[in-house]
């Protein structure tokens, strides 16, 4: 039986800790604030934004929401970002993706002041992650690193396999594991003999977006398995990219879905927002 790594519990601990930090910062005149921009009425995006607002309230972070209609122009979003970049009460700016097709996500992300880019999607922050000299790490990979650390497994020298090469999960995940001296293999839709690679993984991260894609026969005995996937089945059930039942029999530790990586992502967003407040106030 694998150890279940509960992102729910760990994220609660992190949020409690942040609450204390925010209280201390406020005494020093540093007030973290998060602005969230949401465009259109995608139900999943609405749930994410509501959860982010709730987390802010819980920790004592000031938050503003800008809910824009799906036909808003790119120029309007860019001017809003300019305004938020200038606003002292806002230390972090988050644009909930995806955006409607007529708006360039690239233009929008590049308009955010990198020091307020709490998602770490701006090219400046992406570059910093590459060199290892970073302020902000994208929230999902950052949360995964916390979970791996808490599984008690050292990354150094381990075979790490990341399935998925997206800019928000797979690629930054691979870099973080590399910075910790893991031997990293990135697999993707064109990878041949995937099972051969995953069978070799001491640490296996699945960020594919396909329900129950990683089955027990793909997992090495004693591996740490991190399931990033959030897939809604037709019967409304939420499942990950890992077939929990079969993978759990092989793994030493595994994250569940829900209650694994998901809650960590929000906790890390809060952490980045607090960090941004300090950076914007003190330049450090």
Positions touching ligand NAD (CB under 6 A) are 140, 163-166, 168-170, 187-189, 191, 194, 207-209, 228-231, 261-262, 265
Residue 156 C-beta: closest distance to ligand NAD, Å:
25
Beta carbon nearer to ligand NAD, 117 or 280: 117
Beta carbon nearer to ligand NAD, 72 or 228: 228
Residue 138 C-beta: closest distance to ligand NAD, Å:
9
Beta carbon nearer to ligand NAD, 33 or 211: 211
Active-site residue (options: 117, 119, 241, 243): 119
Beta carbon nearer to ligand NAD, 4 or 194: 194
Beta carbon nearer to ligand NAD, 28 or 50: 50
Residue 203 C-beta-side C-alpha neighbours within 13 Å: 28
52 catalytic? Reply is yes
Residue 45 C-beta: closest distance to ligand NAD, Å:
12
119 catalytic? Reply is yes
Residue 112 C-beta: closest distance to ligand NAD, Å:
19
Token couple for 151:
């599984």
Distance CA 234, CA 155 (A): 37
Residue 275 C-beta: closest distance to ligand NAD, Å:
19
**Residues that are catalytic:** 52, 96, 119
């Amino acid at each position: 039986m694998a150890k279940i790594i509960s992102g729910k519990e760990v994220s609660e601990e992190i949020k409690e800790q942040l609450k204390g930090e925010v209280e201390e910062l406020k005494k020093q005149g540093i007030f973290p604030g998060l602005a969230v921009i949401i465009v259109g009425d995608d139900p999943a995006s609405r749930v994410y934004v509501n959860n982010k607002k709730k987390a802010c309230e819980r920790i004592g972070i000031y938050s503003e929401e800008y809910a824009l209609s799906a036909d808003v122009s790119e120029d309007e979003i860019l001017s809003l970002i300019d305004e938020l970049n200038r606003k002292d009460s806002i230390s972090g700016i988050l644009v909930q993706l995806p955006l409607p097709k007529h708006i360039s996500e690239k233009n929008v992300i590049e308009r955010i002041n990198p020091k307020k880019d709490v998602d770490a999607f701006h090219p400046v922050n992406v570059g910093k992650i590459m060199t290892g000299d970073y302020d902000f790490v994208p929230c999902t990979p950052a949360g995964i690193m916390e979970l791996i650390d808490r599984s008690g497994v050292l990354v150094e020298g381990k075979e790490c396999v990341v399935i998925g090469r997206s800019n928000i999960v797979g690629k930054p995940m691979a870099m973080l594991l590399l910075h910790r001296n893991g031997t990293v293999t990135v697999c993707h839709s064109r990878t041949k003999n995937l099972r051969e690679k995953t069978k070799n993984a001491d640490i296996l991260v699945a960020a594919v977006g396909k329900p129950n894609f990683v089955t027990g026969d793909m997992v090495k005995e004693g591996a740490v398995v991190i399931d990033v996937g959030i897939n809604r089945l037709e019967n409304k059930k939420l499942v990950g990219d890992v077939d929990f039942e079969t993978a759990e029999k092989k793994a030493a530790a595994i994250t569940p879905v829900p209650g694994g990586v998901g809650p960590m992502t929000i906790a890390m967003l809060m952490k980045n927002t607090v960090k941004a407040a300090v950076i914007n106030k003190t330049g450090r």
